[in-house]
Structure 1
Amino acid sequence: MTMNTILQAILDFDEALLKKSVQEQLDAGTDINIILDKGLIQAMDVVGQKFTKGEIFVPEMMIAAETMQVGLELLKPLLVSDSNESKGTIVIGTVKGDLHDIGKNLVSLMLDGGGFDVIDLGVDIEPEKFIQAAEENKADIIGLSALLTTAMPIMEKTVNLIKKSNLPAKTFIGGAPVTLQFSEQIGADGYSENAPGAVAVARKLIANALPVN
């Protein structure tokens, strides 16, 4: 079976086929990172593109992400033994005043699948709690989500407080009402318009934070 089978299994929400396909790739000696990047993550990129085009909707994205997680569980024991496993630590949550979590949950799944250690704080999170969690977990990135336009001022306040705290963590925002323009306006370090794109943005933020040799 090829990587295309992994893609098709995720698009068909076929957990049994996905598990079989990933296991066959492992048995064949395929590099774990190739299975992750060219199989699971690439499949979710396709899912994200279909969502953007209106070919699928949020429920399908959630099911696809949950299907992908089945394949990821097979890789995790092997990834843990790999010193390069963790791409960084990300604290994520929906800001104070917003109880929506579907988008945040999708992003958490994608980041987890992308090799990041994800600390999901949940919803309705006070600015101070983001800062506290980032300090306790030595986070590289703090991810803020909002679905309500009324929560955007709180998102701005949270970004400002994080910057004033002098934490080394980068700020990364997203959500239905959030735009690149708003991200730049409030001084956030990163923005993604959808869940699959979050992995690429997070990797870029981590890479830019690394010391130049």
Structure 2
Amino acid sequence: MQDLVNAMADMMEDKVIELTNQYLDEGQDPVAIFRAYQEAMEEIGRRFEANTYFVPELIMAGEMMKTGSELIKPHLKNDAEDGPAKIGKFLLATIEGDIHDIGKNIVGMMMDLNGFEVMDLGVDVPADVIIEKAREFNPDIIGVSGLLTLAFDPMKGLVEKLQEAGLRDGFKVLIGGAQIDEQVSEYVGADAFVTDAVAGVNICKEWMAA
């Protein structure tokens, strides 16, 4: 299915849908088709890291993946209707005081496409709500987004409240945003920081593999 991988990696949306329908009509394994989409997403991620693709390409790729999944899902067996098994759980939110969601949404999409079960709490989410949902969802990783410098203190407050609740050792905490750096990550007490979605996926996959 390399032609499907290539078509998606090259942003040929019509060709991707045509090939997907063709493979399904031929009776090809729907899970194998889904994995071709994942392989294409990995290539798109590499191009993003190399600065040959940018945010619009990531968004377009996500739309292609969503459309493809809708085509593939009816062909999956009941015992595998969600495709390949999930590799971990990822809780995601934009921290209280910040309403930016484009970066968060891209991270959520990329994490989902790379095998994580994602719970997205939205924007302007207080630390107490994140902790409450973490108790319910029991994620492996808590991802917190914040574009504004005003988000740094609420992020720090979240980590402190996790510690106070005796929950800090139960989760990896990943923070993200264009203005976040190593110094901010240390101030917040996070396990890692990222400034783009692809790097975040790579870090989370490394954590789960370990």
TM range (shorter): 0.7 to 0.9
Q: Number of aligned residue pairs: give it.
A: 203
Alignment of 1:1-213 (within 5 A): 2-12=1-11, 14=13, 16-22=14-20, 24=23, 27-29=27-29, 32=32, 35-36=34-35, 39-74=36-71, 78=76, 81-82=79-80, 85-167=85-167, 168-208=170-210
Looking at structure 2, the residues matched to 69 and 205 of structure 1 have their Cα atoms a distance apart, in angstroms, of 26
CA offsets 1:181-200 (integer angstroms, 9 cap, x no match): 43244331233332123222
Contact 1:94–1:125 (8 Å) recurs in 2 = yes
1:134-174 alpha-carbon deviations (Å, 9 max, x no partner):
11112221110111122122222222222332221221111
Unaligned runs of 5+ residues in structure 2 are none
CA contact (8 A) 1:79 1:85 kept: no
Task: Kindly indicate whether the alpha-carbon contact (under 8 Å) linking 1:90 and 1:140 is maintained by their aligned counterparts in 2.
Answer: yes
Q: What does the per-residue CA deviation read over 1:80-106, in whole Å, with 9 as the maximum and x for residues that have no partner?
A: 734961212211010111111111111
Give the TM-score of the pair, scaled to structure 1. Answer: 0.78
**Structure 2 counterpart of 1:211:** none
User: TM-score if structure 2 supplies the norm length?
Assistant: 0.79
SS at match of 1:117: strand
